[in-house]
Every structure is written in C-alpha cells, then in structure tokens.
Amino acid sequence: MSAADPPAIPTTTGVGLGYGIAIAVSILVLISTIMLASYACIRVKANATSTSSSRSSADEDDGNTVNNSVEPAAVLVLGLDGSIIETYPKIVLGESMRLPRPNNGPCSICLCDYKAKDLVRCIPDCHHCFHADCVDEWLKMSATCPLCRNSPVPTPAATPLSELVPLAFHARKD
C-alpha cells in the first residue's frame, strides 16, 4: 500500500432506514389495532345492554316477541317556571341608575352596563339585580342566582331548590 491511498470508508447500505420505516409502520398498525378493538368492545357492550333490556321486556310479554322500543330517560329540569319568575320584582331604572345595595357594576350575565329606563329584575332572597331579559333566561335554565348561587324560594310552601340540587353543583365558599 502506498501512503497516497485514502483510508477505506464503510459504505451505508440503507439497512438503518429500512428498520426505521418498519418500526414506524408497526407502531401505526398497533395503534390502529387497539383503536379498532376498543371500538368493537364498546359496540358489543352497547348491543348487549340494549338486547338485555329488550329481552327483559319480551320475557314479561309472552316470551316469543322481542320488544325493541327504548323508553326515554327521565329529564330533570333545574330551572324555574315562567309564572314563578314573573313574581320576582322588576325595577325600571331612572336617570341615576342606582340599584339596591348589594349591586354594583354591569349586569353579571350579559356584562353590559345598565342604562336609564332599563328593566331590571331582582332575586328576592339575595337582592341581586340583573337585566330582566338576562335573568329570565338564566332562571329558566338554572334556579339559582348567577352571582351567589343561592336558591330563591318562590313560595313559602315550596321546597327550596338548594335541598334538591346535589352539593357538587354549589359553588365553594372560601
């Protein structure tokens, strides 16, 4: 060997690239298989639940027919009725735009400032006031004050909603 010959450089054959592609494809196949299996399990479980409920209905009939009707779940409405909401006092704001004592700032529901001659409704127990349109929609969906989350009692004979709503729905008071 002469001193002028360059040293031998090992050549790459592309084997490392092939392994990388194989690993990437394997991971994609594994993820796809897991997703497909979980989808199949959920479908089988859902079908088993509906089949068992229809079998119990069919067993009550004569044992030969299969009832595929599904009864709707009970709906719990936590809002107030429109007639109850209308019993809450309304105030038409004057030029001074002063509200009863615990209120300050804009309407807490729509975040708009109060203007003269706006119709404002106050919640009886806590005396928080809001635009009448805003609080009416709120009370139809949720029977609690938007600020303090206290449940207004519409009539003395009625059960307060705070006794019916689970504690998890109440705001934490620190």
pLDDT at 148: 83
Q: What confidence tens digit (pLDDT) does each residue in 123-169 have?
A: 888 888 888 898 888 888 888 888 888 776 554 444 555 555 555 55
pLDDT at 153: 57
| Tokens standing for residue 20 | 């990388």
Q: What gap in Å lies between CA 99 and CA 63, rounded to an integer?
A: 68
Q: Which residues pair with 122 in a beta bridge?
A: 129
Put simply, whether the predicted model's pTM sits higher than 0.95 gets the answer no
Q: Which segments in the chain show pLDDT lower than 50? A: 58-59, 61, 155-158, 174
pLDDT at 52: 62
The neighbour count for residue 157, using CB atoms within 10 Å, is 6
Phi, psi of 122 (to 5 degrees): -110, 145
The neighbour count for residue 152, using CB atoms within 10 Å, is 22
pLDDT at 103: 78
**CB contact at 8 A, 111 and 130:** no
Nearest 10 degrees: CA dihedral of 111, 115, 120, 125? 60
